[in-house]
Amino acid sequence: MTPFTLPGEPHIHYANGHLQMEDCRLDNLAATHGTPLFVYSKASMLAALAAYQRGFAERKSQICYAMKANSSLAVLQVFAQAGCGFDIVSGGELERALAAGADPAKIIFSGVGKTRQEMRRALAAGIGCFNVESEAEIDVLNAVALAENKVAPISIRVNPNVDPKTHPYISTGLKGNKFGIAHESTLATYQHAASLPGLAVVGIDCHIGSQITQEAPYLDAMDRMLDLVAAIEAAGIPIHHIDFGGGLGIDYQGDTPPSADTLWAKLLTKLDARGFGQRLLMIEPGRSLVGNAGVCLTEVLFMKPGEQKNFCIVDAAMNDLPRPALYQAYHAIVPLEQSKQARADSPVCDVVGPVCESGDWIGHDRPLAVQAGDRLAVLSAGAYCMSMSSNYNSRPRAAEVLVDGSSAHLIRKRDNLADQMRGEQLL
């Protein structure tokens, strides 16, 4: 068994025997705020953003953080203050983005199932673009905009039919997926949209999947997108912006995705070669901005040795960390005390939560040298954890802390029972 190694995240490291995020000791945060506790590094988020900003230096560009990855208000605020726009997928996300100080003109609205009410509210807020995903949505948005005396700026999400080589549940750009307009129908769909008085065609977009760790799918999707842009413009419909979606992967378990700036150097070479380098370029990264910036701290409740398996039962569970149950995802798990790091002869355990499901596991077959009362950090937990968390088993949703240098801000209190029962009524 290989010993624990921390995925490449410079803002999380051991110092004097204790796991730290930036200049804050994580055991102190766990003691102050309790566990399970999500902790995020502001510097890590801004460093991830800076890689994209470097990639786009000297270009017209707009980075729209795909906020479903982590939609906590203070996280959104960090990105809004850094100049990001937001990629939203619901009316609730719209209100969160606005509450966090987003510029509505930098908000783009993705998703296959926008309701009329969500369309009206987004039009009233003056968002920058609706990324529409079907013929039917185009007609409904046109009707809603006309009724409101507005013109809805739109981009059409095309499905480039490329395989992003990731988990099937997070592949979105293949023919069999529910997302986007098929490549072959794109031109006709643009012509239809351009004929409608309630819509203004402003762009084109695609998003091929998530946790993509190779360059080739992006380069292929770009070629296919640019073919379409050329065809659409030849038909007399100008395309103001080109949006390449999100999906860049992070290091969970020795994954080696390209860095954002390296990937964009290659994509920009292609854009330039095909004469599109001076367009407004938009992207919608989610996971790659926040994933490695977050950890979930948890306390070992019981060690349960067994005949076939040893279990390490912790106080975090699938309601806090749903990715293993949903996608068989891997999160590295390390002790907060460096002296408790696993050795070659440490017993192998399944790290599991208290929820009454066999799917409630956080890590399989991990060598561990911890005991009840010790604390662990589940790494790479900044994306698609808190935002997917639930109250299943009537467990309170965890608290969240944002670390900034040596200061730590509580950005979300742990749910109390009143929070959990709000809105319910006895007969």
Q: Which residues are catalytic?
A: 356
Residues 228-267 that bind ligand PLP (CB under 6 A): 245-248
Q: Which is nearer to ligand PLP, 12 or 129 (CB)?
A: 129
Residues 186-215 that bind ligand PLP (CB under 6 A): 207, 210
85 binds ligand PLP (CB under 6 A): no
Among 42, 279, 287, 366, binds ligand PLP (CB under 6 A): 287
Residues in contact with ligand PLP, counted by CB under 6 A, come to a total of 17
Cis peptide bond upstream of 197, omega within 30: no
**Minimum CB–partner distance for residue 337 and ligand PLP (Å):** 32
**Minimum CB–partner distance for residue 24 and ligand PLP (Å):** 26
Asked whether 8 and 251 are in contact (CB, 8 A), the reply is yes
Q: Which is nearer to ligand PLP, 211 or 319 (CB)?
A: 211
Nearest residue (beta carbon) to ligand PLP: 286
Token pair 């029972």 is found at 417
Among 85, 285, 294, 322, binds ligand PLP (CB under 6 A): 285
Beta bridge partners of 417: none
* Rounded Cα gap, residues 206 and 281, in angstroms: 12
- Dig out the tokens for 314 from the structure: 């912790």
Site track 91-130 with ligand PLP (rule: CB under 6 A), x = hit:
-------------------x--------------------
Asked whether 288 and 250 are in contact (CB, 8 A), the reply is yes
How many other CB atoms sit within 10 Å of the CB of residue 348?
Answer: 14
387 binds ligand PLP (CB under 6 A): no
**Minimum CB–partner distance for residue 357 and ligand PLP (Å):** 25
Q: Which stretch binds ligand PLP (CB under 6 A): 118-126, 195-203, 279-287, 373-381?
A: 279-287
**Minimum CB–partner distance for residue 285 and ligand PLP (Å):** 5
**Minimum CB–partner distance for residue 367 and ligand PLP (Å):** 30
Q: Which is nearer to ligand PLP, 247 or 353 (CB)?
A: 247
**Minimum CB–partner distance for residue 364 and ligand PLP (Å):** 24
Q: Which stretch binds ligand PLP (CB under 6 A): 26-34, 278-286, 341-349, 358-366?
A: 278-286
Angle at 74 between CA 72 and CA 75, to 5 degrees: 65
Site track 51-80 with ligand PLP (rule: CB under 6 A), x = hit:
---------------x-xx-----------
* Rounded Cα gap, residues 121 and 353, in angstroms: 40
Kindly calculate the radius of gyration of the chain based on its CA atoms and give it in whole angstroms: 23
Sign of CA dihedral 317, 321, 324, 327: positive
The separation between CA 14 and the C-alpha centre of its own chain, rounded to angstroms, equals 26
Q: Which is nearer to ligand PLP, 133 or 350 (CB)?
A: 133
**Minimum CB–partner distance for residue 72 and ligand PLP (Å):** 15
Q: Which is nearer to ligand PLP, 68 or 96 (CB)?
A: 68
* Rounded Cα gap, residues 83 and 253, in angstroms: 31
- Binding residues for ligand PLP, per CB under 6 A? 66, 68-69, 87, 89, 110, 207, 210, 245-248, 284-288
